[in-house]
Structure 1
Amino acid sequence: MRALTGGMDSTIDVLVPERGKPVVMRRYLDKGSPDSAIALACREAEVLRALKLTSVAAPGLVAVDRRGEHCGTPSVLTEFMDGSREVPGDPRTLAAGLARTMATIHDTSPQALDDGLPDATGLVLSALSEECPDLHDQSPSATMWGLVRDQPARSEMGPKTLIHNDFAPHNTLFVGDRLSGVVDWTLAAAGHPASEVSFCRLNVALVLGLDAGDLVLEAYEAQIGVRLTDRGWWDLVAAARVEPDLHSWGLFIL
């Protein structure tokens, strides 16, 4: 068994049997809410099962221990995917791979997920309301949350598609210059494509600079052939999602 880095709400290990192919076990941490760990395991298993019939490069589901009866905590067992987190050295190549993969995800609508995904846009709008005052008080990005809250937002906030909801280089695998896989589908939801693109380009910009982040947007819009709507609002939302301790990101990004 070999531990992998990554996973802020879980531990991740590669299991190498004497016979057969290696698999990856994600064990969800019980952070005082067993129901939350169960929900995360069930959601990832459901999404991976549905994605198996699509062209999205996601790991195949092997098994799920929903209540931790066998693994001690809710867990998901998946196929091992080839690749590493070493991204292409050329920012344009990186942006093209990220954009192409996001577009594939957003163009995928597995029927099995039609009614089972959380509403990512609704969660954001709820977080901006008085229903979640603690979030605003504690957030290091309180100023950004204020800017988002002050912007007029349409009730529907545009189209909703399948989104990974944590799509960034730290959740992708590369073989050379080719993006070979997308992992960690725990937060998958139904949401606005622009929310995904804004979050991804922010992550790239934090590591490689603003120009590299802009390349992600440029490549995505070229991929889908139209301009994204509501992008400015979602850029603010992405900025407000930044974690307090950026130094801790060294374990997860690039």
Structure 2
Amino acid sequence: MNGLMNNVKDWILQFFPQNARIVSIYPLKGSTTASLFEITIEISDKQKEHVVLRQYDKPDAVEKSKAISWVENEANSLIVAYSLRCSSPKFIGKDKYGEVSGYPLLLMSKLPGKVDLHPITITAWLENLAITLKDIHQNRLKDFSSKHFRYHHPDNLNIPVWSSHPEVWGVLFQLAKQQEPMYDPIFIHRDFHPVNVLWQGEEVTGVVDWANGCLGHAGIDVGHCRWNLAMIYGVDEADLFLEYYIKHAENRFSYDVYWDNVSLMDVLMDQPSVYPGWTEFGRKEITKEILIDRIDQYAISLYNRIKQ
């Protein structure tokens, strides 16, 4: 059971009955900002519980002050998401200041299932993905500690030098600088994409990584997922996901390309790099060159929607 100090194990066990003991600890993949561990706790001869510990021990990836904020926000998000029955982990405990190990800690229940980036039937997979997001958005929460904000101010955006279509990006930047549309905010995941969704077969078992949960527009989640789908598979898959979401959300959602564009601006990089989660879960064919081409193709698809 290497990887965790004894005082961290003691801290975990305080949330369980007195005679509980840790019987296994396994590292999990998928996080670029923290170490993840699956921990099995034996409550009795007939009862075991599986939990996940997130330990923000990668200072090169995230400053401690930001990790403290993320732990606090994810704890709040998990509590809200669980109350809304969003197929989320259940919050168990937190040590946001790192008093136990020197690193901020978050403890939550473990959901069944695994990340699946190689679906057998892509259309059914995309529809279930859309339904899952629609279910998260079926709320009218008005009171939450965090509200949506843009990661990059539009005045700081530059036409990417790597793009073969600078004129397209110029139009997208003009849209990004427009005043944000008025809307009634709801509780959103804020980082909804395929690596944060768990599956058993063709059924979704849950959604993880709620560190960015906030009040915002549903299109923010839709747009972030569409960008990821366009990078992993292509624009057609991203568009099909949107069709399914609109179908199942019915009159609760009105599509506006503005939010797709904002989501693209949020992830725009001077030097694009392949997200490690895609590679870790089997999409090793995505190179920097493929990524750049797909970003351009997705940008063109948004440009065409603007010009319609």
| Superposition TM-score, scaled by structure 2 size | 0.70
Q: Distance in 2 between matches of 1:50 and 1:62?
A: 13
Counterpart in 2 of 1:246?
A: 274
Q: 34, 37, 41: which is aligned to 1:10?
A: 34
The answer on 1:160 being equivalent to 2:185 is yes
Aligned amino acid, residue 158 of structure 1: Y
Counterpart in 2 of 1:35?
A: 65
CA positional deviation for 1:42: 0.5
1:182-206 deviation line (CA, Å, top 9, x unaligned): 0000111222111211221221222
DSSP 3-state at the match of 2:87: coil
Kept after mapping to 1: 8 A contact 2:140/2:187? yes
Q: Which stretch has the larger CA shift, 201-210 or 160-169? A: 201-210
Counterpart in 2 of 1:204?
A: 229
Structure with more contact order per residue of length (Cα contacts < 8 Å, sep ≥ 6): 1
Q: Which stretch has the larger CA shift, 164-173 or 88-97? A: 88-97
Counterpart in 1 of 2:123?
A: 92
DSSP 3-state at the match of 2:88: coil
Matched-pair identity in %: 27
Aligned amino acid, residue 57 of structure 1: S
CA positional deviation for 1:145: 6.9
DSSP 3-state at the match of 1:81: coil
Counterpart in 2 of 1:65?
A: 95
* Cα distance change of structure 1 residues 175 and 9 upon mapping to structure 2, 3 Å threshold: same
Q: Distance in 2 between matches of 1:96 and 1:234?
A: 20
Q: 109, 113, 119: which is aligned to 2:148?
A: 119
Number of aligned pairs? Answer: 245
* Cα distance change of structure 1 residues 202 and 75 upon mapping to structure 2, 3 Å threshold: same
Counterpart in 2 of 1:235?
A: 260
* Cα distance change of structure 1 residues 227 and 61 upon mapping to structure 2, 3 Å threshold: closer
Tell me the C-alpha RMSD between the 2 structures: 2.8
1:42-81 residue pairs with structure 2 within 5 A? 42-81=72-111
DSSP 3-state at the match of 1:12: strand
Aligned amino acid, residue 73 of structure 1: Y
Counterpart in 2 of 1:25?
A: 53
1:117-171 deviation line (CA, Å, top 9, x unaligned): 1323xx35x6214xxx4x7599978x68754431263344434221111101100
DSSP 3-state at the match of 2:83: coil
Q: Which stretch has the larger CA shift, 231-240 or 2-11? A: 231-240
DSSP 3-state at the match of 1:47: helix
* Cα distance change of structure 1 residues 191 and 76 upon mapping to structure 2, 3 Å threshold: same
Q: Distance in 1 between matches of 2:159 and 2:178?
A: 22
1:77-226 residue pairs with structure 2 within 5 A? 77-87=107-117, 88-110=119-141, 114-120=143-149, 123=150, 127-129=153-155, 133=156, 136=158, 147-151=171-175, 153-226=178-251
Aligned amino acid, residue 92 of structure 1: T
Kept after mapping to 1: 8 A contact 2:159/2:169? no
Structure 2: unaligned runs, 5 residues or longer = 1-24, 284-308
* Cα distance change of structure 1 residues 103 and 206 upon mapping to structure 2, 3 Å threshold: same
Structure 1: unaligned runs, 5 residues or longer = none
CA positional deviation for 1:207: 1.8
1:87-131 deviation line (CA, Å, top 9, x unaligned): 5321221111111111111122456xx1401323xx35x6214xx
CA positional deviation for 1:215: 1.4
CA positional deviation for 1:33: 3.0
Larger radius of gyration: 2
| Superposition TM-score, scaled by structure 1 size | 0.84
Aligned amino acid, residue 246 of structure 1: V
CA positional deviation for 1:47: 0.9
